[in-house]
Structure 1
């Protein structure tokens, strides 16, 4: 690695992360508690509790808000819709097991699928245009997805797809074509008779969102997906779900997000910060900004802290600190994904005090030539990345940075960091303002 003598940090600094954390607080709820058992739920793992859970939520809503409690036992249910001033509390010893029958997740609702708005299968837990809404507790949320249910739709044999099973590829192309034709989102009907899997927990246009304590397993798609939200707190969550596209937390086009004290063992990116995709993102035009990730542990599979690849509307002011990552099946540390098809900007990314055991690829990867590469009408911009106090035990490389000649990656500073056992030299192409201070690699 090239060493420069002077470390300069002229960006907004870590005080902005502290300010975000102060702003994003858990919402308060009225002192009211309703047990789903009082509305007919039977936690025997065999009785359909959908109506009982909905009845308890409705009772709390009509009373002005409060906590809906699922006590010890196993509850079978279809999708759960939440509303303002409601905390869905899954107590210790409780398991909420979602019935993996697609017809249960109809009628279709407004959602985003890989950054594109559409009318699709309802997320397993969802809220729209709500304030003060939460999913809390020490229980388990089981999405019921496996190689027999939901996952085969991805089209990969390792997840149960076989010839004759409809896969999502054709449906995705149909959705993209509707966007090109200017079809409004509420007319992009992608359920039923399509195979675009629902996300697990999705908050759409909500304020003061809180997910706390629960363990998530068996997700059909992305696990926690706030979209166009303000004030999102995800804390003390454990995610163990190795299915296709099983990202952990995907804040998309959100403002003020804090993700802390979480453990991720997932089938895709642990945290993936997003801002919509291509033409549809340009229509909505909402960036994702002010995201803090702290005191988390990531063990698999692709990126620990990912920005993109749906980031056409831009991502800025991201802060990662005091995290541990790494394992034989984790690929990247900080992974910034864009190209000429996606475009967008990434700026003001801070990483501090991260310990890494092992990565299959790079700690920092940002390669404009990936995927569609040079093809596409957009010019991505990545600038102002600050990395400090990072220790990586083993990886393919410390850095893989590849910008364009007409849009180089700019202003990347790394200091006080050690990359102990790198299999290959760094790969650097079209980067300006790369500064490394007190940083060592072997």
Structure 2
């Protein structure tokens, strides 16, 4: 029992407590090794849920193969029956089924058989009643996410079928108010609602009084388990999302495995675990209209007051194509983030903006620390391989902290504008960024950094030249430019 207790303590303590800071390459390598030992202890805490061997087939509850007729009532009826009977699988057989919001219950695995598709309605009436949700890190009452759970445990979405959000430049996406996504002057959009919700958060309006939905045009997330635990999302393909794709909020023990996300709408982030703990994202494919994986912990006052960091995340064996960033932390990161590990990734697209992206500001606050990234193979990208941006949004009164970031074995064949770009506050420099045993080719600006402390490059080659201490020093003395 003592060994188990020590293992759990190792998983939840900050890496900075568990390992010492070395100045030489050998010490830094040892530090990285110890960090990844901690990652292994975190992995032991993430256990996939299991389910009773009972099937509840949605066609037996009234779902029909006519894809123009809603099967929402039948699907949720099968879920209720499965839950009431102690759990099992709710099976979607081969065929296309039109549905509105699906609400998962404890001990239920929503399973899509080969050839099965859930096609989600474009009618907002099918996402009522309004539910408690997070929208870009802000709590409110809004349209239900397409697949939602609140306060549940042991839930899953599995199978080789397709989840089709049915969004495009005619439906859902124009609410963003971007012409490239179908919006034209005079059309309804989300801008006024986002401004109002941001003010509601600042004024600490009770969540139950932050009522949105009709007339506000805030697009619902695709999959959002909220305040839930023991979650598995595996094998499905997700396309045409209205908004964020996979967004666990305030959850614990989450596995996202072998999922394919292909959707290029506005804010079509692939997987955004938010204020969640013990998360594994493995063997997934992301080709998105926004960040591939973005780790979050709430926006501004909501994130700071709830105070739940993103912690103990492992990302591995994934492939990223298009997107604003491959591995991203922020910008809704006011609750902080710690113990984030990413390894064995492939990224390659001229439409992939960044490899590792940290975005925050003094409007957000929060501490981002103990981030470990290794074994990343990159064909090409557009803007920066490693980016720390503390000016992502307008300044405020909550200085963020970014520290203890190690990038190891990053290999880029043909980079974009920047190799490493650090845009930090003088009052809060980026601390202890270490890049080890890495090669970046074909960039315009190898390193540009304004305020850093303890930044180290060990055996790093950029554009065929070994980076020296003098190179690191001179990178902060040049005239600063951004994208």
| Same-fold status (TM-score > 0.5) | yes
Q: Which has the higher contact order (CA 8 A, sep 6+)?
A: 1
- Alignment pair present for 1:422 and 2:443: yes
**Do 2:304 and 2:366's aligned partners in 1 also have CA atoms closer than 8 Å?**
no
Q: 2:184 aligns with which of 162, 184, 199?
A: 162
Match of 1:385 among 362, 382, 405: 405
> How far did 1:303 drift?
0.6
Q: CA deviation at 1:96?
A: 0.3
Structure showing the higher strand proportion among its residues: 1
Q: How many residues align?
A: 437
Tell me the distance in 2 between the aligned counterparts of 1:356 and 1:307: 19
1:274-315 deviations in Å (ceiling 9; x for gaps) = 010111112211111000000000011101000000001100
Q: CA deviation at 1:370?
A: 3.3
Secondary structure (helix, strand or coil) at the match of 1:146 reads: coil
Matching residue of 1:376 = 396
The answer for the alignment partner of 1:434 in structure 2 is 455
CA distance in 1, matches of 2:414, 2:189: 37
Q: Show the counterpart of 1:175.
A: 197
Question: Which of 270, 277, 290 lines up with 1:268 in the alignment?
Answer: 290
Query: What is the Cα-based RMSD across aligned positions, in Å?
Result: 1.2
**Post-superposition shift, 1:106?**
1.0
Provide Cα deviations, 1:221-261, integer angstroms capped at 9, x if missing partner. Answer: 00000000000000000000000000000000000000000
Structure-2-length-normalised TM-score:
0.89
1:51 aligns with: 73
CA distance in 1, matches of 2:132, 2:344: 36
Question: Matched residue of 2:68: which SS?
Answer: strand
Residues 249-264 of structure 1 mapped to structure 2, 5 A cutoff: 249-264=271-286
Map 1:26-425 to 2 at 5 A: 26-372=48-394, 375-395=395-415, 396-425=417-446
Once residues 450 and 392 of structure 2 are traced to their aligned partners in structure 1, the CA distance between those partners, rounded to angstroms, is 13
Give the superposition deviation at 1:320: 0.4
What secondary structure sits across from 2:272 in the alignment? Answer: coil
Unaligned 5+ segments in structure 1 are: none
Q: Deviations along 1:126-167, whole A, 9 cap, x unmatched? A: 000001000000000000111111100000011111122111
**In the TM superposition, what is the alpha-carbon distance from 1:180 to its structure 2 partner?**
2.4
Q: Could you report, residue by residue, the CA deviation over 1:345-389 in whole angstroms, capped at 9, with x for unpaired residues?
A: 1100001101001010111000213332xx210111000011111
Alpha-carbon distance between aligned partners in 2 of 1:93 and 1:63, rounded to the nearest angstrom: 27
Instruction: Say which structure is richer in helix.
Output: 2
Deviation at 1:7, TM superposition (A): 4.5
CA-CA distance at 1:5 after TM superposition:
5.9
Distance in 2 (alpha carbons) for counterparts of 1:428 and 1:199: 35
Deviation at 1:326, TM superposition (A): 2.0
Deviations 1:169-203 (A, max 9, x none): 10011111222222101110011221110000000
Q: CA deviation at 1:86?
A: 0.3
Structure 1 position 8 matched with structure 2 position 30: no
Instruction: Give the distance between the partners of 1:199 and 1:124, measured in 2 at CA.
Output: 7
Gap runs ≥5 in structure 2: 1-22, 464-483
Aligned counterparts of 1:144 and 1:258: Cα–Cα separation in 2: 27
